[in-house]
Amino acid sequence: MKLNYGNKIYKIIFIGLLIAALVVASGCANKSSSDKDQNGSASAKASGVSGADKATESGAFTLTDGFGREVTIPENVERVVCSGAGCLRYLVYLQAQGDVVGVDSLEKKENKNEGRPYVYANPQLKNYPLIGEARGNDDPEKIIEVNPQVILKASMIGQAAAPTATEADTLQDKTGIPVVAFPYGSLNNETQKAEVYSSLRIMGKAVGKQERADEVISYINATMQDLENRTADIPESERKTAYIGGVGMAGAHGIIATEPAYSPFLWVNAKNVAAGMGTEHADIAKEALVDWDPEYIFIDVGTLQLGNEGAIGELKNDTSLAGLSAVTNKKVYGVIPYNFYSTNYESVLADAYFIGKVLYPDRFEDIDPEAKADEIYTFFVGKPVFSDLNGNYSNMCFKQILQ
């Protein structure tokens, strides 16, 4: 009996130890699973942490955006969305388009005439999820769905700082995601050029592309300097008079649409007959164009989107313009459209070399405008896309139009 009683005791002890071991093992497994979920590697749900959470996990830093707002963002940003006209273009310039997780409605649209070089170089961009409508009309819920760590937001050229900063604050409040905002700027004057450079550096800091931002700025400066050096010593009396017509702005326009501060004319020391009408896009009277009677007329071929050849058709068919010296002397040329969802600076620079070659061929004898355009496009957007762009505008870029 004692032996049997002892055996029972041993069995009870053994079963107790076995149960305890199973409990401990189960607890460890549950903890491992929990830890896995917290690190975002166990399930899709676990990976859906907010931008704010990611900032906390990976470390964060604070930067001052283009409107003086202090914004705290993650140290290593890998997921972004771009809001506002031209914002995605800047991201492509910085070679950070791989960070995009969503785009606005215009980026997804198939345009019959496409004037954005970065789209030709990056056709994949249109396939990303929708985050809202064009020109910064964002949908906070859709942005939250694609889960960016940072929202990059560009203002329209010339847009006042206060309302843009307010829009950025509102979007940040609605999404809980940091919004880094900045002015788009332009190359038409020193103030707006400084905005371009500052904005590129701010975006570069946000996405870890500071070195590339400096490269882009240096390239723009060197290119403008090269253009200016070629023509700087031409006497005032020998500088050619010129007019740029059909310039797009929030859509296509006709012959009266111009740029009084058209950068390519400034860089090659041409006399812009519309200068003095301010620094922004302007519509002139046809009578003024007749009075100015420029030696050369350049047409932004984006005007073709109007139908009936736009500004080109006007020069061919409007009898009031038939007596223009540029028309009678066949000195009318097509240039690449550059205002398409804000300014494509690479096209502005390419246009300047073509215009310089037309006006002062001896100063640009080493330049093949099409090859130069592809060199510029390759630097900015990664591919030589001149032929793609030109083909979309009936091959009228860098061409004598009226023959």
pLDDT in tens, 302-316: 998 888 899 999 999
- 170 and 217 share one domain: yes
Q: Is position 12 within any domain?
A: no
Is pLDDT at 18 greater than 60 in this prediction? no
pLDDT in tens, 108-131: 988 888 999 999 999 999 999 999
Bridge-based pairing of strands 60-64 and 70-74 is antiparallel
Q: Is position 107 within any domain?
A: yes
How far, in Å, CA of 238 to CA of 75, rounded? 55
Q: Which of 222, 248, 266 is the last residue of a domain?
A: 222
**Structure confidence at residue 24 as a pLDDT band (50, 70, 90):** very low
- 194 and 315 share one domain: no
How far, in Å, CA of 377 to CA of 346, rounded? 6
The whole-chain average pLDDT of the chain stands at 86
Q: What is the torsion angle, in degrees rounded to the nearest 10, for the CA atoms of residue 289, residue 290, residue 294 and residue 298?
A: 50
At how many degrees (to 10) do helices 369-381 and 345-359 cross?
A: 160
Q: Is position 352 within any domain?
A: yes
Which of left, alpha, beta for 309 (phi over 0: left; psi -120 to 50: alpha)?
A: left
pLDDT in tens, 315-334: 999 999 999 999 999 999 99
Eight-class DSSP state of 301: G
**Structure confidence at residue 6 as a pLDDT band (50, 70, 90):** very low
Domain count, the chain: 2
- 260 and 334 share one domain: yes
- The counts of H helices and E strands in the chain are 17, 15
- Of the two residues 282 and 47, the one the predictor is more confident about is 282
- 326 and 364 share one domain: yes
pLDDT in tens, 337-360: 998 989 999 999 999 999 999 999
Query: Can you give the pLDDT at residue 19?
Result: 44
Q: Which of 166, 195, 222 is the last residue of a domain?
A: 222
Is pLDDT at 279 greater than 90 in this prediction? no
pLDDT in tens, 161-172: 667 889 999 999
- 290 and 346 share one domain: yes
- 74 and 103 share one domain: yes
pLDDT in tens, 52-88: 444 445 589 999 999 999 999 999 999 999 999 999 9
What is the span of the domain harbouring residue 138? 60-222
How far, in Å, CA of 87 to CA of 260, rounded? 25
- 258 and 113 share one domain: no
Q: Specify the CATH number for the domain of residue 164.
A: 3.40.50.1980
At how many degrees (to 10) do helices 369-381 and 210-231 cross?
A: 160
Residue partners of 272: CB distance under 8 A and separation at least 6: 242, 243, 244, 260, 261, 262, 265, 266
pTM of the predicted model as reported, rounded to 2 decimal places: 0.84
Hey, what amino acid is at 186?
S
- 108 and 166 share one domain: yes
- 271 and 384 share one domain: yes
Eight-class DSSP state of 306: G
**Structure confidence at residue 210 as a pLDDT band (50, 70, 90):** very high
Is pLDDT at 134 greater than 80 in this prediction? yes
pLDDT in tens, 346-396: 999 999 999 999 999 999 999 999 999 999 999 999 999 999 999 999 999
Query: Can you give the pLDDT at residue 189?
Result: 86
Q: Is position 39 within any domain?
A: no
- 215 and 333 share one domain: no
Hey, what amino acid is at 306?
L
Q: Which of 187, 222, 257 is the last residue of a domain?
A: 222
List the structure tokens of 363: 């100063």
- 273 and 371 share one domain: yes
Q: Is position 48 within any domain?
A: no
pLDDT in tens, 187-209: 988 998 999 999 999 999 999 99
Is pLDDT at 250 greater than 80 in this prediction? no
- 210 and 240 share one domain: no
% of the chain exceeding 90 in pLDDT: 71
